[in-house]
Chains A and B, each alone.
Chain A
């Protein structure tokens, strides 16, 4: 269940889910059958990069560069784990 995320895996938005920017709420949301999740800024920063092309390692590197930070890997992996558990994300290998 809580197995470590393979940083070479390529996460993508899960089937039936859609990520989009909502101007009226000034927030990113995840939409799914009859439901909506409002995303925090950091959640959105991760999910918008989950395009099935970038690897988890790529995403961590990009975020560390974008936010001038280091050591984000464990936070990013924890969030990706959570998103996988909710089917918000799937892994493309």
Chain B
């Protein structure tokens, strides 16, 4: 495979959206986590000074939205230092957290440091399911954290990852969000990467489940109006056109993994044949504009048929490279979610398997909880 010449693509804009995955460490063990399943083999985490240099260089290039994520970013005790630096530089900072470790003193310190926004994740509306899905006892802690977020006058943004095991609880989840005074709720259907890919057979909902959840959401929206904004992210396996993943690789998103490896998408580490540069060895400017890994999927030269001649290629950029790779073995193929893809049957077959058992968990495949050791299994 030859590298397309970057000169033939229009020059990319700035990496507007910078995501720092500060650590892969996390007290939870969620079955739908998109972190790499071999995350325990990832090298030493960046030190505080290295993260601050990343912030400075990215901001100079025009990065402005900052995500602080992981793993659980609160595991890092320098989070407040990183937030303060980001605030000084003019970033809008978003903490993406499970809430575990968000004590009142820390929240006060983060507020003081200039943190703009907190997105709190829930696994479900019930303690039983929340704790089961994350393999922890965290439901009450999260509810407490939600109260703290309100107390410190942050907009309350809840994120709930949906899948077969909790999608039937959407009505309860929305009511829980309302009780907590949430302003925004993201009902994000699972994307199948990392641990979620491993557990796909367990997590993919049926079409009927999805339809019911959408109906419940629509009725709820009607009742609450603009008081609460609800984003329902449809699982792309049920679509016939792919999502414009990351708005095209290397166009607006720059992610930095815990060990300093720069990625055009959090999941891109899995893509074969690419060496992703590290911020330990290269400047953000050279990584974003000059590195072969970031230029590989810019523009359209890399596309194969049917994308290459498709009138919609400028809208969806051929979908997701990681999904194309996971399902077809070649990241340059059309995302098989697209019904024009010759591999679309791989997606419809997975959906058909989900249809076959709508009663609950297929017994044949155990759920694999995210863990740093050999995958632990819950029967």
Q: How far in angstroms is the closest Cβ of chain B from A30?
A: 10
Report which of B14, B65, B67 forms a contact with A24, defined as CB distance below 8 A.
B14
Q: How far in angstroms is the closest Cβ of chain A from B209?
A: 27
The reply to whether A20 and B90 form a contact with Cβ atoms under 8 Å apart is: yes
Q: Is B116 an interface residue (CB 8 A)?
A: yes
The contact string, 1 if C-beta is below 8 Å from chain A, for chain B 61-96, is 110110100000000000000000000001010100
- Which listed segment binds B: A33-41, A47-55, A58-66? A33-41
Q: How far in angstroms is the closest Cβ of chain B from A12?
A: 15
The reply to whether B184 and A22 form a contact with Cβ atoms under 8 Å apart is: no
Which residues of A have CB within 8 Å of B61? 24
Nearest B residue (CB) for A22: B64
Nearest B residue (CB) for A25: B62
Binding site for A on B (CB under 8 A): 13-14, 16, 60-62, 64-65, 67, 90, 92, 94, 116-117, 119, 153-155, 157, 183-184
A16 to B117, CA, bound (A): 7
Q: Can you offer 22 A-B residue contacts whose CB atoms are under 8 A?
A: A15-B153, A16-B116, A16-B117, A18-B92, A24-B14, A24-B60, A24-B61, A24-B62, A25-B13, A29-B64, A31-B65, A32-B92, A33-B116, A33-B117, A33-B119, A33-B155, A33-B157, A34-B65, A34-B94, A34-B117, A34-B119, A36-B64
Nearest A residue (CB) for B67: A34
Report which of B62, B67, B92 forms a contact with A31, defined as CB distance below 8 A.
B92
Q: How far in angstroms is the closest Cβ of chain B from A9?
A: 19
Which residues of B have CB within 8 Å of A31? 64-65, 92, 116
Which residues of B have CB within 8 Å of A33? 94, 116-117, 119, 155, 157, 184
Q: How far in angstroms is the closest Cβ of chain A from B232?
A: 16
The reply to whether A36 and B16 form a contact with Cβ atoms under 8 Å apart is: yes
Q: How far in angstroms is the closest Cβ of chain A from B202?
A: 29
Which residues of B have CB within 8 Å of A32? 92, 117
A36 to B155, CA, bound (A): 16
Nearest A residue (CB) for B90: A20
Which residues of A have CB within 8 Å of B67? 34
Q: How far in angstroms is the closest Cβ of chain B from A23?
A: 8
Once A34-B117, A36-B16 are accepted as A-B contacts, the answer to whether A15 and B155 lie under 8 Å apart by CB is: yes
A35 to B16, CA, bound (A): 10
Q: How far in angstroms is the closest Cβ of chain B from A37?
A: 11
Nearest A residue (CB) for B116: A18
A24 to B252, CA, bound (A): 13
Which residues of A have CB within 8 Å of B16? 36
Which residues of A have CB within 8 Å of B157? 33
Q: How far in angstroms is the closest Cβ of chain B from A17?
A: 9
Which residues of A have CB within 8 Å of B13? 25
Which residues of A have CB within 8 Å of B60? 24
Which residues of B have CB within 8 Å of A29? 64
